[in-house]
A = this chain, B = another copy of it.
């Protein structure tokens, strides 16, 4: 049997169950037993167990013999797992998580920009410039501009040379892609080219302090935008 959702049944179930869990669908009822799950999703126990094991690996579930499987408290979820964060952000009313994530970006990205200015990895810096130029070139096309914006930010992480920063790539990818839906409701906002260019120039000049400051400025702007979106949806 082959689901339409994922490439494989197990990955389809991973996504289905993961989304259901973050939406709190099992909060009142408790998580079903394997047997129930198999019936409900029409899958064999083998693949169902594999999906449950993957969710356990991400901290969302835990199983014990005879006691069944239960949803872990949210503080045990691997929020920094790309899948988990995406599920959380795709969930309705996820403004808060966008805010908190941007707060974390505010800790990471300026530091990464400062590091990039120090490390001076020429190839990686060229990639940042390419991102900026793509932003300029695609100013008309929403989707392409978003991709360029993402590339720009991710390239900075890469240029920092720190693998932990680089690992935020898929997270930021999802976050930007999804937050656009949020912030676009508020204003005809398009990413400020000048603000982005300021980071790039500072990095190219090896000015770590300035790169840090410029990066902070952009993120504070995002923060304000998300807060505005939050206020708007709260009012509605």
Residue of B with least CB distance to A58: B57
Q: How far is the CA of A56 from the CA of B10 in the complex (A)?
A: 12
Cβ distance A189 to chain B, nearest Cβ, rounded Å:
24
Residue of B with least CB distance to A56: B54
Instruction: Give the number of times this chain occurs in the complex, counting copies.
Output: 2
Residue of B with least CB distance to A46: B46
Q: How far is the CA of A42 from the CA of B127 in the complex (A)?
A: 48
A81–B78 contact, CB under 8 A?
Answer: yes
Question: How many chain A residues touch B (Cβ–Cβ < 8 Å)?
Answer: 36
Is there a chain B Cβ closer than 8 Å to A104's Cβ? yes
Cβ distance A91 to chain B, nearest Cβ, rounded Å:
14
Residue of B with least CB distance to A99: B162
Point out the residues of chain B lying under 8 angstroms from A53, CB to CB.
Answer: 10, 50, 53-54, 57
Contact pick for A107, options B75, B77, B103, B108, CB 8 Å: B108
Is there a chain B Cβ closer than 8 Å to A89's Cβ? no
Q: How far is the CA of A135 from the CA of B205 in the complex (A)?
A: 44
Other CB < 8 Å A-B pairs besides A46-B49, A50-B53, A103-B164, 10 of them?
A53-B54, A54-B57, A57-B57, A75-B163, A79-B167, A80-B164, A81-B81, A101-B164, A104-B165, A106-B111
> Using a CB–CB distance below 8 Å, which chain A residues touch chain B?
10, 14, 46, 49-50, 53-58, 74-75, 77-83, 100-101, 103-104, 106-108, 111-112, 115, 162-167
- A-B CB proximity, top 8 nearest: A107-B111, A80-B80, A54-B57, A57-B57, A104-B164, A50-B53, A79-B167, A107-B108
